[in-house]
Structure 1
Amino acid sequence: MAEHIAVQDLSKDQAAEELRRLSGLLAQANRQYYAEDAPQISDAEYDCLKRRNTEIETRFPSLKRADSPTEQIGATPSEGFSKVRHEVPMLSLGNAFEDEDVVEFDGRIRKYLGLPSDADLDFTAEPKIDGLSLSLRYENGLLVQAATRGDGAVGENVTANARTIQTIPKKLDSAPDVIEIRGEVYMSHDDFDALNARQGERGGKLFANPRNAAAGSLRQLDAEITRSRPLKFFAYAWGALSEPLGQTQSEAIKRMENMGFCTNPLTELCSSVAEMIDQYRKIEAQRATLGYDIDGVVYKVNDLALQERLGFRSTTPRWAIAHKFPAELAWTTLEDITIQVGRTGALSPVARLKPVTVGGVVVSNATLHNEDYIKGVDSKGNQIRDGKDIRVGDWVQVYRAGDVIPKIADVDLSRRPSDSVPFDFPTICPECGSDAIREEGDAVRRCMGGLVCPAQAVEKLKHFVSRAAFDIDGLGAKQVEQFYTDGWIAEPADIFTLQARYGSGVQQLKNREGWGEKSATKLFQAIDDKRTIPLARLIFALGIRHVGEAASNLIALHYGTWSAFITAMENAREASGPAWDDLISVDGVGQVMAQSLVSTFAQEAERASIDRLVAELSIQDATRPDTQGSPVDGKTVVFTGTLEKMTRAEAKARAERLGAKVSGSVSAKTDILVAGPGAGSKAKKAAELGIEILDEDAWLDLIAGA
């Protein structure tokens, strides 16, 4: 598909199709961000899509669409508000992502104005507030109209709402007869947290981040709701004027401040590109401590006469640019390190952070992996982060990519408190007081308390009811915690004896908070429905260390029945006997997983708990699909590149139904590599190993009719 092909490799037809796709995606993203206050993609993803669109238009200018995203600003105003046509359009800004982009910006301006490289040229540098753009029109000193950006030409009339914001003056002194002040409505981190807490208490909508909260609060049809929300306003620009505010951007900002507007104190005057980038670095370093969200720094030519000469492109001014921060990185303070105990007893350190927005999400926690990672070394003792350890009170860089759990990427030792001390990783479980042991070769320290450790018990129960395990409707992690805390369940078998132990069950449960007779009846019916369970799901649900969903399926297929499986586990205690050899012969089961399986069933308390569970269940035998005559039965297949006639999931499922094992990596054990467009290193490695390589059509021909 065209989206996976580099711009320089696109044909003209592919480019046209890609521009059509990007136009739809970006239009949808604009609606979600500007009109619905509910963005579904991060700023980084949006910027990436828009850059790709621009690169394609640059390479194929004749293909530029009438609805090109490069010609769009914001989104069409909502029908819920009356419309305001901006006397002076509210344009967006071009973006810079690298220092080199700022150098090019300066060069373009000098070239346009005919200025030599050594001529004086001043710029202002100010934080780019991540909020909602607003234009305020004053006539004879009185606020008469407030409008959102909308699509840049027409916005929404939110005058009544704007009047409720305390930092927006209702009357100006010493102001031009007509003046439109423009700026950003935003919400501080503390106010955002307090608002979400209030929303949660009353069962209302929780906001994803302060920008969404500010936009949603300003765009309320009921101004009293806006009044109840803690909104603020920074002024930084202007629209229509009956007289100039000054000769420079700096003078105009000072004039707005004197009229009673809040302007950003981090705005600085810079006389060179080096000073601009230096100010960018200074602002970036303060990002986490500002108390409000910013996503970059805006540079503007300071001389307003030069701004007038430079003018505008179709959607952006030539004299300004936004230098965006890396969307997935931010610096903040590490306020504490706490230890969480998982279902396998693993002690996992968690960084408790001063909240900071990273990639459009407010982050207050990050993983620290294990005790070696905190010390600044890897599992082999090699240095990471140049050997810098992580301590409470440190100024740390937080990294987040997509939906990946945030982590600490770096530490600024120059800002380390003088009284900081290395973190002392516990050797005692914080939940139950049992010894926490780190076995040789293991990166993780584990609690030895087993079922006596409440953290392990609760996490095992959460895993037991998870979607890939028993998946009991109405019994999720929250309900498991509630029932465990109240002493209703302590192990998986207790779930299936719950109703019997409490009489009718319904009467006991319906009086509890959050439950009624109908929901209680449904829960007990859902539990009964899951008494019959496939063998693979049961094995996975037991939460045995190293045994995941895929391995559970392989093990179930190998042994077929619960009785055969349990007998094999009992007989495999001798690591040199036939039962052990049979276990490690299962494709995908190695020495470590095999030992974990055998050890689990060898522990008396654990085995007794499993036996009590099994007594409540009807376990379905695992049956192999009939793959007789399949051309790929028993073969290992790897898919790489882009499949154009089926999704990767469909291809994998079909191969497995035909008796093949689908692997994610190429090795000497691989029999077939199916390579679509964009295949890279896997295809090269397969060729080096002499593995059969098929394109998608050849693969489909091979399995046709099977």
Structure 2
Amino acid sequence: MTEQQSLFDLSRASNEAAESHEPTPERADEERRAAAARAAELNHQLEYHAYRYYALDAPEITDAAFDKMLVELQQLEAAYPELVTAHSYTQRVGGYVSPQFQSVTHMARMYSMDDAMNLEELDEWLDRTEAALGAGQASYTCELKIDGLGVALTYENGLFVRAATRGDGTTGEDVTLNVRTIKDVPARLSETALAHMGADAATAIEVRGEVYMPKGSFLRLNEEADAEGRDPFANPRNAAAGSLRQKDPKVTARRDLATFLYAVADTAPLHVTSQHDFLSWLRDAGFSVNPNVARCTTPAEVHEFCAQALAHRADLDYDIDGVVVKVDSFAQQDELGFTARAPRWAIAFKFPPEEKETVLREIRIQVGRTGVLTPVAEFDPVVVAGSTIARATLHNIDEIRRKDVREGDTIVVHKAGDVIPEVVGPVLAKRPEGAQEWDMPAMCPACGSPVVHEEGEVAYRCVSIDCPAQTKERLAHWVSRGCMDIDGVGDELIDKLMEAGLVRDVADFYTLTADTVAALDTGRTYLKDDKRRGVRAGDSIPVGATIAAKVIDELNKSKQQPLSRVLFALGIRHVGKSVGEAIARRFLTLDALVVANEEDIAAIDGVGPKIAASVKQFFSVPENLAVLERLRVAGLTLEEDLSGEAARAAEETGVSVDLAEAQPLAGLTFVLTGTLERRTRDEAGAALKALGAKVTGSVSKKTSYVVAGPGAGSKLTKAESLGVPVLDEEQLERVLATGTLPAK
């Protein structure tokens, strides 16, 4: 049964066809059982996809598909009221509370919003509202529906003290430290806002809104993810949710999040009487409030606002997925009240996803920096969400098979999150006769090397470092900031070096001379004669001696970069910056790493067998080893600088480490359990790692020491049963201060 042919739709069509006939009791029972079965299935699907969306930030279906299932369940429960239970998805607020954060109880429940999927449903809500309040008695505040993560901010005596996610509506996740890094969240309410509160200025208030990621920041984040070999975020909403739920606030701070505020738990302390006036108070208080707001006095004005928002959604630097319409008066809101999951005084008019049909002409292979072969759909250009698109990634062969797209198909395309072009699927009724299933090639289309597909992996890849399709991206990655950090060598210069045949792999950078770089043609020409320099209008402009000298100087400086940078810069699959640092700290030299076995690499904290296998595979390719040898001959260090590591560790952890004894705990494994008073467990773990120790989460016979604070439980019991030495916090501090262990 297709999504378009839901059981409810079929049942309704059957009822309409037979409405002139009186249904038999047997027929009614059959329909009731079918409805109950479908409701159970919908509840199961909604719970699953809500968990993927709210808890994992990894949705498998579009918002539109989720909303369609929810609407179908609501219609079934309206037709069969006995299907409504306390556990039905229609009776609860969407969201989950992750156990990795402290829980926070909201000052008042944070509700979901009922949806209007089209203008007809919006008009039905408007009619109900007008009937309840009296025709012409209501005004409405229309606001853009921001596609982000709901958040509640608590202020006491005008000071910001706490932030929490919406969670399940009653309880949220404490994300205070992360929200403090968001630049537009005020640390203190303005004097104007506090003065408006008068005697209630000291009252705790909880304002609510949305944390979002601007589209430009989202694109940059995914570019960084690609450069480090990480999976990209599916859309800005997922990126915002994932960024806000980081354990390390420093990561959140780098993600460029922003907020729009629009609600409050209790309006009484603010002395405002309407939504429109409340938004003005928020602006005065220092909060970010979306400027696209209107007070509408008639349903026609509401329609006009929705139409304008839909027409201009592509012009915004943030995602919206509809318009929220609220009864403006707080007194009238109180009169209308709430259902089990949503206010009766508000509705979310959801925009339909903009989808267009076009013809899929070809599925081409794109070979990335790490050698992954990515199928890309090339289709007739079509305008979607304000821009022309003609290609979209199909990700992998599993995705192609799941969607069953074939060359020659008429396909439906849209932009995921209004940003990333995506193929929704084929229009099967328009499939040309003889269209064949597409398959991945056995040989790399760029270099002819065999394509590797490991069991259990989705990706197909070319592992040859000489693959020309990977060359440009590998070269650009090598010189980038965070890798070898070679300033002045950008995409344009790399293109010219490749065109001249001077650079084919990263070792070739170190064979360049100032003269060869200076003579490169930039592709630009002189506009007029210059007899002094001996040039004529139309002559090609070379790179020149000044830029060439800087390039060679930067290349020479890069030879001193530590092994960790080199490992990251090589573009080894799964080896990002932090993994490169962990591997380099363990083996210290490239030679030691090359001869290490897979088990030793996998034993490094944060590495594991998957990354270890990737590293060993890279060093098993003769062409890769040849490039590394040329780097050695060119003068690269290929060793880790532990003095720098020790200095950084001292600064970050407060542990002073003698450089001659920078790894006194190397080879030892620690487990931390219970509550520590002087440091958090994360801080203690970082300090131990700075001294060379490995810190794990489980106790075994291989554990060297267990550090136990008050409240230690099963880990302490297991340590005692295995005879593993146990340290208290005072002993731990002596170890961190001296690098010396107590006698066992």
The residue matched to 2:124 in structure 1 has which SS? helix
- Separation in structure 2 between the aligned mates of residue 314 and residue 230 of structure 1, nearest angstrom: 36
CA contact (8 A) 1:73 1:92 kept: yes
- From 461, 467, 480, give the equivalent of 1:483: 467
Q: Equivalents in 2 of 1:232, 1:135: separation in Å?
A: 14
After TM superposition, give the deviation of residue 466 of structure 1 in Å: 10
Q: Which of 83, 88, 92 pairs up with 1:68?
A: 88
2:182 paired with 1:165: yes
Matched, 1:40 2:50: no
Deviations 1:499-546 (A, max 9, x none): xxxxxxxxxxx999649895379999xxxxxxxxxxxxxxxxxxxxxx
**Could you say if the C-alpha distance between residues 169 and 354 of structure 1 is closer, same or farther in structure 2, counting changes exceeding 3 Å?**
farther
What is the identity, as a one-letter code, of the residue corresponding to 2:245?
Answer: R
Tell me the distance in 2 between the aligned counterparts of 1:486 and 1:266: 45
Partner of 1:55: 75
Amino acid at match of 1:121: A
Counterpart residue number, 1:139: 156
Shift of 1:463: 13
Q: Alignment partner for residue 300 of structure 1, among 326, 341, 344?
A: 326
Question: Which residue pairs with 1:12 in the alignment?
Answer: 32
Shift of 1:366: 4.6
Q: How does 1:440-455 map to 2 (within 5 A)?
A: none
Residues 185 and 287 of structure 2 are in contact (CA less than 8 Å); yes or no, is this contact kept in structure 1? yes
Q: Indicate the larger mover: 283-292 or 169-178.
A: 169-178
1:259 maps to 285
Alpha-carbon spacing, 1:219–1:309, altered in 2? closer, same or farther (3 Å)? same
Q: Judging changes above 3 Å, is the alpha-carbon distance between structure 1 residues 256 and 364 closer, same or farther for their aligned structure 2 residues?
A: farther
1:86 aligned partner, one-letter code:
H
Alignment deviations for residues 618-657 of structure 1 (CA, whole Å, 9 cap, x no partner):
xxxxxxxxxxxxxxxxxxxxxxxxxxxxxxxxxxxxxxxx
Structure 1 contact 180–241 (Cα < 8 Å) conserved: no
Distance (Å, rounded) in 1 between the aligned partners of 2:219 and 2:79:
46
CA displacement 1:389-422 (0-9 Å, x = unmatched): xxxxxxx9999673459xxxxxxxxxxxxxxxxx
Q: Which of the residues 248, 256, 262 maps onto 1:230?
A: 256
What is the distance in 2 between the residues matched to 1:402 and 1:478?
A: 28
User: Is the contact made by 2:378 and 2:391 (CA closer than 8 Å) also made in structure 1?
Assistant: no
> How much has 1:330 moved relative to structure 2?
9.0
1:462/1:480 contact within 8 Å kept: no
The corresponding residue for 1:658 is none
Are 1:156 and 2:182 an aligned pair?
Answer: no
1:459-498 aligned within 5 A: 476=460, 483=467, 485=469
Cα pair 1:192 1:213 within 8 Å, conserved: yes
Q: Which amino acid counterpart does residue 170 of structure 2 have in structure 1?
A: A
Quick one: which of 274, 277, 283 aligns to 2:303?
277
Q: Alignment partner of 1:11: what SS?
A: helix
Aligned counterpart, 1:220:
246
Aligned match for 1:202, one of 228, 235, 238: 228
What letter corresponds to residue 275 of structure 1 in structure 2?
A: E
Say whether residues 1:81 and 2:101 are aligned partners: yes
Aligned residues of 1:19 and 1:53 also touching (Cα < 8 A): yes
- Corresponding letter in the other structure for 2:344: R
With over 3 angstroms needed to count, the CA separation of the structure-2 counterparts of 1:330 and 1:273, relative to structure 1, is farther
Query: Are residues 1:519 and 2:617 paired?
Result: yes
Please give the alpha-carbon distance, in whole angstroms, between the structure 1 residues aligned to 2:299 and 2:615.
Answer: 69
For residues 1-32 of structure 1, the C-alpha deviation after alignment (integer angstroms, 9 at most, x for no partner) is: 79556243571112222121111111111111
Q: Partner residue of 1:402?
A: 424
**Distance in 2 separating the partners of 1:154 and 1:512:** 45
| Cross-structure match for 1:104 | 124
Distance 1:187 1:20 in 2: 35
Contact 2:58 2:238 in 1 (8 A): yes
Q: CA, structure 1 residues 329+170, in 2 after alignment: closer, same or farther (shift >3 Å)?
A: farther
User: 1:546-577: CA deviations, max 9, x gaps?
Assistant: xxxxxxxxxxxxxxxxxxxxxxxxxxxxxxxx
Secondary structure of the residue that 1:124 maps to in structure 2?
strand
* Residues in 2 aligned to 1:185 and 1:397: alpha-carbon distance in whole angstroms: 18
Aligned to 1:190: 216
Taking a change above 3 Å as real, the CA distance of residues 138 and 122 of structure 1, as seen in their structure-2 partners, is same
SS state at 1:12 partner: helix
Which secondary structure does the structure 2 equivalent of 1:41 belong to? coil
| Deviation at residue 327 of structure 1 after TM alignment | 2.4
Whether the aligned pair in 1 keeps the contact of 2:354 and 2:384 (CA below 8 Å) is: no
Q: Which amino acid aligns with 1:90?
A: M
Spell out, residue by residue over 1:683-703, the C-alpha distance to the aligned partner (whole angstroms, 9 max, x if none): xxxxxxxxxxxxxxxxxxxxx
Aligned: 1:31 with 2:129: no
Which whole-Å deviations, capped at 9, do the CAs of 1:413-453 have from their partners, x for residues lacking one? xxxxxxxxxxxxxxxxxxxxxxxxxxxxxxxxxxxxxxxxx
State the SS of the aligned residue for 1:298. Answer: strand
Q: Which runs of 5+ in 2 are unaligned?
A: 15-29, 366-376, 393-409, 411-417, 428-442, 472-566, 574-613, 623-744
TM-score normalised by length of structure 2: 0.49
CA spacing shift, 1:519–1:279, aligned 2, 3 Å: same
How far did residue 45 of structure 1 move?
1.0
Letter in 1 for 2:60: Q
Q: 197-206 vs 259-268, which deviates more? A: 197-206
Q: Which residue identity does 1:153 align to in structure 2?
A: T
- Helix, strand or coil at the partner of 2:232: coil
1:66 Cα offset (Å): 2.9
Over the residues paired in the alignment, what is the CA RMSD in angstroms? 4.5
CA–CA separation in structure 2 for the residues paired with 1:276 and 1:291: 23
1:622 is matched with which residue?
none
Aligned amino acid, residue 188 of structure 1 = P
C-alpha distance 15-475 of structure 1, shift in aligned 2 (>3 A): closer
State the Cα deviation string for residues 35-85 of structure 1 (Å, max 9, x = none). Answer: 221111110110111111111111111122331010121233111111112
Q: CA deviation at 1:235?
A: 0.7
User: Using the alignment, how far apart are the partners of 2:273 and 2:183 within structure 1?
Assistant: 29
2:177–2:249 Cα contact (<8 Å) kept: yes
Q: Distance in 1 between matches of 2:362 and 2:37?
A: 49
Alpha-carbon distance change, 108 to 4 in structure 1, aligned in 2, over 3 angstroms: closer
Q: 2:353 aligns with which of 327, 332, 342?
A: 327
- State the Cα distance separating 1:203 from its structure 2 match: 3.3
TM-score between both structures, scaled by the size of structure 1: 0.51
**Cα offset for 1:122?**
1.4
| Residue type of the alignment partner of 1:38 | A
Q: Match of 1:246, SS?
A: coil
8 A contact 2:130–2:137 mirrored in 1: no
Output the amino acid matched with 2:61: I
- 1:328–1:464 Cα change, 3 Å: farther
Taking a change above 3 Å as real, the CA distance of residues 24 and 252 of structure 1, as seen in their structure-2 partners, is same
Mapped to 2, the partners of 1:247 and 1:16 lie a distance apart of: 44
- Cα shift at 1:198: 2.1
- Aligned-residue sequence identity (percent) comes to 33
Given the superposition, is the C-alpha separation of residues 128 and 459 from structure 1 closer, same or farther in structure 2, using an over 3 Å criterion?
Answer: same
Partner secondary structure for residue 402 of structure 1 = strand
- Alignment partners' CA distance in 1, 2:251 and 2:379: 41
- The 8 Å contact of residues 181 and 237 in structure 1, kept in 2 or not, is answered as yes
**Alpha carbons 1:352, 1:366 under 8 Å: kept:** no
**CA 1:217 to 1:110, structure 2 compared with 1: closer, same or farther past 3 Å?**
same
Contact 1:465/1:471, CA 8 A, preserved across alignment? no
Cα distance change, pair 216–330 in 1 and its aligned pair in 2 (3 A)? farther
In structure 2, C-alpha distance between the alignment counterparts of 1:29 and 1:76, rounded to whole Å: 12
SS at match of 1:183: strand
State the partner residue of 2:720.
none
**Cα distance in 1 for residues equivalent to 2:470 and 2:103:** 56
**Aligned residue among 299, 302, 315 for 2:341:** 315
